[in-house]
Amino acid sequence: MTARPQPPALSPHVRALLDAARACAALYVVAHHVAKGYGFPGLTGHLLRFGQEAVIVFFLLSGFVIFANERVRALSPRGYAWRRVRRIYPPLIVAMIVSTLVYWDNGTLARHFDAGRLIGTLLAIQDVSTLKPGVWADPYLGNDPLWSLSYEIAFYIIFPPTLALWAKRPALTTHAVGAIGCGAYALFAMVPNHLALVIAYYPLWWAGAMAAQAYLDGERSVRAIAVPLAWLVALCGVALVVALVQPRYGIGLYPILPLRHFVVAAVVVAVMFGPIGRLMGRASAWSPALWSGVASISYGLYVLHMPLLVDWQRAKGAGGFALAAVLLIALAWSVERWLPRLLPRAPSR
């Protein structure tokens, strides 16, 4: 009996680079919100202003990793859906419980509790209304980092049908993703709504997926990802036109903010799939255990740091902040490393 050929795998250098990127992005987002929440002055505050861009790196990494790991298994909807739910929701629910306890301990739960935000976050339709129009629900109890999960969950849902189409018509599918994304952003500019914005961001996630596909096919040149990269550039063009036409209120708000996101995505994809990315991959391989350790709890750090380090009144002093930081690491480890062991796994077939 002939053994089934195994799909190509990521090299140790690439795995180390992915871990390093995920770890650095998570730590930067934590530092960004701490700096913003505590009003860090001067150069430090300016250097930590780009938390949104770090989240865009997460989107690209997610597309890359999900495609690399799920490009065959995602065509089996039941197992794929359970793996995604098992990954996203347990830490999210723990983070929402922690936020509830923090606001209760602060004595402000009754004032800040909003059932619409609770339901919206559980249904993954949350975003930050102070940054962009068309938001259906803000994140529960002001845990703003949770905004990205509504996009991430939507991308998980869109991926299997996209993958099925891509398996039959790869070039046409990538063109369709890019064109629909550009059209969705133009529609959002005319009629702001969360669904259109999520669809507009999907080409970023798909560009990460197509970078993984090119890498697994043995390609090491940016020319191999020319099509998804070209659509990212087109998306930047649409966002630039929108930014020029519509009123602008600041570089951190719509319509400049999505333009920043799209530009960063295009630059990161182009740079990381070239010589600089290979050099960084070799450098990351020098300390893979460090990057792997931080990356393994990065999602927990991401969803839990805001209530513990910024919202909790007991964390305002030096000693309280140190205690909150220790609690953050312990909880992040628990939800990422211990909690999954208690949950049933998806069926193998």
DSSP 304: H
pLDDT of residue 329: 97
Give 6's pLDDT tier (boundaries 50, 70, 90): low
Nearest to 340 by CA among 73, 86, 19, 98: 86
Give 345's pLDDT tier (boundaries 50, 70, 90): confident
3-state secondary structure of 137: strand
* Residue 346 scores a pLDDT above 80: no
Amino acid at 100: T
Whether 333 contacts 295, CB under 8 Å:
no
More confident residue, 78 or 303: 303
* Residue 338 scores a pLDDT above 70: yes
* Residue 23 scores a pLDDT above 80: yes
Identify the burial level of 327 via C-beta atoms within 10 angstroms of its C-beta, where 0-12 means exposed, 13-18 middle and 19 or more buried: middle
* C-alpha span between 116 and 119 (Å, rounded): 5
Nearest to 99 by CA among 345, 347, 280, 331: 331
pLDDT tens digits, 276-293: 777 777 777 677 788 899
168-193: average pLDDT = 97
pLDDT of residue 189: 97
Q: Where are the domains of the chain?
A: 12-339
Q: Cα dist. 65→60, 121, 215 in Å?
A: 9, 24, 12
* Residue 151 scores a pLDDT above 90: yes
221-235: average pLDDT = 95
- What whole-number percentage of the chain has pLDDT above 90? 78
- What whole-number percentage of the chain has pLDDT above 70? 96
260-275: average pLDDT = 92
127-155: average pLDDT = 97
